[in-house]
Amino acid sequence: MTLAAQAMNVTVIGTGYVGLGTAGLLAHLGHQVTGIDIAPDKIAQLQRGEVPIHEPGLSDLLAENAERLSWTSDYSSVKEADVIFICVGTPPGPDGAPDLRYVISAASSIAHQLGEQCQVIVNKSTVPIGTGDYVERLLEELAPNFSAAQHLVVSNPEFLREGTALHDSLYPDRIVLGGAAKALETMIQLYAPLLEQNFTPPASTPRPEGYTRPATVKTTLQSAEMIKYAANAFLALKISFANEIAGLCERVGADIEEVTTGIGLDERIGHRFLQAGLGWGGSCFGKDTQGLISAGREHNYAMPILQAAIDINYRQRQVIVEKLLRQLKTLKGKRVSLLGMAFKPNTDDLRDAPAHDLIERLHRLGAHVTAHDPVAMPRAEHEWSHLSYTPARDLDHAFARADAVIIVTEWDDYQHLDWNKLLPTMRRRLIIDARNTIRQPLDHMLQATVKQVGRSAPIFIQSVQTVSIVK
């Protein structure tokens, strides 16, 4: 850690994935940070040194910078803050438009505590275009001592990937700042060690070889808000495009892995986010793409490409169910085990996770569903209590007497399975590899029927139709 040239007092509202990452990053850069959350149980956890979410390296980062971090449900720290970050959730409403109730609540609470010095209020949450102006109006109406010259609103969207959030925070491609020039000067000072890359990297997240410094994009509030939405919508579109091409590959005998490798070598396209499989989930892609569509609808502007990206993504979940049905014919009374519940590896986030839809659909078709995840099972116990499934005690339990196993999340644990041990315990050796993870040559012939997305089974897999049941 290298102390910032000008250490600031920072308040971060919200202690979810974005809020905790922001607090840890700024404390590591040398600023004094107060994290606020209205959930007393989360604050109590953080005060005990416990982190309520799973994110690699985050616990260590917060512990290493504990002397510059404090946690509370009291908004009074806002009075002394130089910069106040709003990092609360913006879940989709019934019509797909983002629900701003938490942003409004946070802004209202901030307004009553604003000081008389120059303060920058930062929208870090993903919000609809125009929210920065709306927050400014709220402050103007509710703050007893509001001053347009002293209380400035900035849009500073995050571009973090859960599972690699610390890396993305410390070594970003770009930092986007939207707002008035005076406010952006403050943000440049706040982020100076990050922009110059003169801080000492955490031991768990070393600086990548060849990385120099991030680009800085200074723009208006509206453009910054649009950049966030457009970036996520484009990445969602790439994934859905790969899945749509994968469906045709299966029908014409092409291999989606070879196709995406070939087109990704075009530097205008690139390889990232062209992985075919079960599709995207999580809190960002679906919500932000739908948010852009809603914005278009407000302005009588149709966005059919984005709607197609959403439709294709959710269709992909049914594609996996249909692969299973083609093999088993009926799911009534069949035992199907899911490997992976979190929407992606290295996180316990279950929001819009494909596994949720699979459990629901398989149960509706009469299957007995068992589910396993290396990290997310305790969270699922609370958040998915409405679903009918059996939590697997371990991988042995997941495979035992299963008629099929579906690889849902590409955890490392599932890419290094002891197939010789696990396959003989299944009732039928059927693997639906919904993430195309089985690709490296093994030192033995894999005795199983394996179905992947957009490609035939790897040549080292021997398809089998019947096996003896191991009791």
Q: Tell me what pLDDT residue 372 has.
A: 98
Q: Helical H runs in 15-173?
A: 17-28, 40-47, 58-64, 101-111, 131-142, 165-170
Query: How confident is the model at residue 444, as a pLDDT?
Result: 54
- Asked whether residue 260 falls in the same domain as residue 383, the answer is no
In this structure, what CATH number is given to the domain that contains residue 303? Answer: 1.10.1040.10
Asked whether residue 470 is domain-assigned, the answer is: no
Q: What is the CATH number of the domain that holds 195?
A: 3.40.50.720
Type of residue found at 293 = I
Backbone angles phi, psi at 190, to 5 degrees: -60, -45
Annotated binding site for NAD(+): 37, 42, 90, 126, 162, 287, 351
* Strand extents, DSSP E, 127-270: 151-155, 174-178, 215-219
φ, ψ of residue 413 in degrees (nearest 5) = -55, -35
pLDDT tens, 122-168? 999 888 888 999 999 999 999 999 999 999 999 999 998 888 999 99
Q: Are residues 35 and 166 in the same domain?
A: yes
Q: How far is CA 189 from the centre of its chain?
A: 28
**Is 373:409 a contact under the CB 8 Å cutoff?**
yes
Over residues 72-129, the pLDDT tens digits come to: 999 999 999 999 999 998 888 777 778 899 999 999 999 999 999 999 999 998 888 8
Number of domains in the chain: 3
Query: Catalytic site residues?
Result: 284
Q: What is the 3-state secondary structure (H, E, C) of 153-170?
A: EEECCCCCCCCCHHHHHH
Dihedral of the alpha carbons of 15, 20, 26, 30, in degrees to the nearest 10:
100
pLDDT at 469: 38
Contact 198, 271 (CB under 8 A): no
In a domain, 4, yes or no: no
Q: At what angle do helices 221-252 and 256-264 cross, to 10 degrees?
A: 140
Residue 467 domain-assigned (yes or no): no
CA distance 87 to 288: 16
Report the C-alpha gap between 235 and 21 in whole angstroms: 22
Tell which of 173, 192, 219 closes a domain: 219
Same domain, 187 and 91: yes
Give the Cα separation of 42 and 48 in Å (integer). 10
Domain range spanning residue 454?
317-462
For the chain, the straight-line distance linking the first and the last C-alpha, in angstroms and rounded, comes to 56
Q: Does 27 reside within a domain?
A: yes
Task: Let me know whether 333 and 298 are in one domain.
Answer: no
Whether pLDDT at 40 is above 90: yes
Contact of 179 with 153, CB cutoff 8 Å: yes
Helix (H, G, I), strand (E, B) or coil at 349: coil
H helix count then E strand count, the chain: 17, 16
Whether 458 has a pLDDT exceeding 90, the answer reads: no
C-alpha triplet 233, 108, 32: angle, nearest 5°: 80
166 in a domain, yes or no? yes
Of 311, 337, 356, which marks where a domain is finished?
311
R_g (Cα) of the chain, nearest Å: 24
Share of the chain above pLDDT 90, in %: 83
* Helix residue ranges per DSSP H, 65-128: 101-111
Q: Are residues 42 and 160 in the same domain?
A: yes
Residue-wise pLDDT for 181-218, tens only, equals 999 999 999 999 999 999 999 988 999 999 999 999 99
Give one DSSP letter per residue of 269-297, joined into a string: T-STT---SS---SSSHHHHHHHHHHHHH
In this structure, are residues 87 and 12 in contact, taking their beta carbons and an 8 Å threshold? yes
What's the gap between Cα 443 and its chain centre?
35
Residues 260 and 362 in one domain: no
Task: Give ∠ CA 17-19-22 in degrees, rounded to 5.
Answer: 105
Query: Is residue 3 situated within a structural domain?
Result: no
Residue closest to 417 by CA, chosen among 434, 438, 402, 435: 438
Residue 181 lies in a domain: yes
Are 92 and 127 part of one and the same domain?
yes
> Residue 457 above 70 pLDDT?
no
Are both 213 and 239 inside the same structural domain?
no
What is the pLDDT at residue 446? 76
Q: Residue 176's beta-bridge partner residues?
A: 217
- Together in a domain, 126 and 187: yes
Q: Using CB atoms within 10 A of its CB, is residue 372 exposed (0-12), middle (13-18) or buried (19+)?
A: buried
Model pTM score: 0.88
125 and 144 inside one domain: yes
Assess whether pLDDT exceeds 60 at residue 468.
Answer: no
Instruction: Decide which of 219, 252, 277 is a domain's last residue.
Output: 219
Closest CA to 219 of 160, 158, 154: 154
**Is residue 71 in a domain?**
yes
431 pLDDT higher than 60? yes
CB–CB of 275/257 below 8 Å? no
Name beta bridge partners: 34: 11, 70
Q: Which two tokens stand for residue 404?
A: 């099929």
CA distances to 91, 196, 300, 445 from 165, rounded to whole Å, are 20, 20, 36, 38
Question: Are 334 and 190 part of one and the same domain?
Answer: no
**Residue 121: strand, helix, or coil:** strand
175 & 240 share domain: no
pLDDT of residue 125: 85
The H-assigned helical ranges of 253-376 are: 256-264, 285-298, 304-328, 354-364
Read off the DSSP letter of residue 150: T
Q: How confident is the model at residue 464 (pLDDT cuts 50, 70, 90)?
A: very low
Q: What average pLDDT does the structure give for the chain?
A: 92
Q: Could you tell me where the DSSP H helices lie in 112-156? A: 131-142
